[in-house]
Amino acid sequence: MTKTILTVDDSPSIRRMVRMTLQDAGYDVIEGVDGQDGLEKATATRVDAVIVDQNMPRLDGIGMIRALRQHPNGQGVPVVVLSTESEDNLKQQARQAGALGWMVKPFTQDKLLAVIRKVVGP
């Protein structure tokens, strides 16, 4: 079964880049334009993984993860946080909120694909 990945980012170019990379590799991709939109999409349908940016309007990444983990549909979904900064404090917070891992921007398509494969399998 094709796996569905939700990418949540306020930057259309990042979303597009994630979409192209993952679709080429055979995943289905849905997009969320900010944390609130992402949360609604992640709870409305079952997704296999979520890639989420930290800094977004309305609801930031960590806030979205925290809310997602409260929702029944958000249990056990691997979430990877994208962040420009790699400070340990943020990683710690993300982990506590319920993120599985993080990726530091900028990243290459190969790296993204490797991460997704690691998290949800090929």
Contact footprint for another protein (CB under 8 A): 49, 69, 75-80, 95, 98-101, 115, 118-121
State how far the Cα of 57 lies from the Cα of 33, in Å rounded to an integer.
9
**In terms of CB distance, is 59 or 81 closer to another protein?**
81
Which is it for the CA torsion 37, 15, 6, 71, positive or negative? negative
Which is it for the CA torsion 27, 6, 76, 86, positive or negative? positive
**In terms of CB distance, is 12 or 118 closer to another protein?**
118
- DSSP annotation of 25: T
The CB-of-76 to another protein minimum distance in angstroms stands at 5
Q: Which residue has the tokens 């949540």?
A: 8
Distance of CA 4 to the CA centre of its chain: 11
**In terms of CB distance, is 72 or 106 closer to another protein?**
72
State how far the Cα of 95 lies from the Cα of 76, in Å rounded to an integer.
14
The CB-of-37 to another protein minimum distance in angstroms stands at 20
The CB-of-104 to another protein minimum distance in angstroms stands at 12
**In terms of CB distance, is 56 or 116 closer to another protein?**
116
The CB-of-87 to another protein minimum distance in angstroms stands at 18
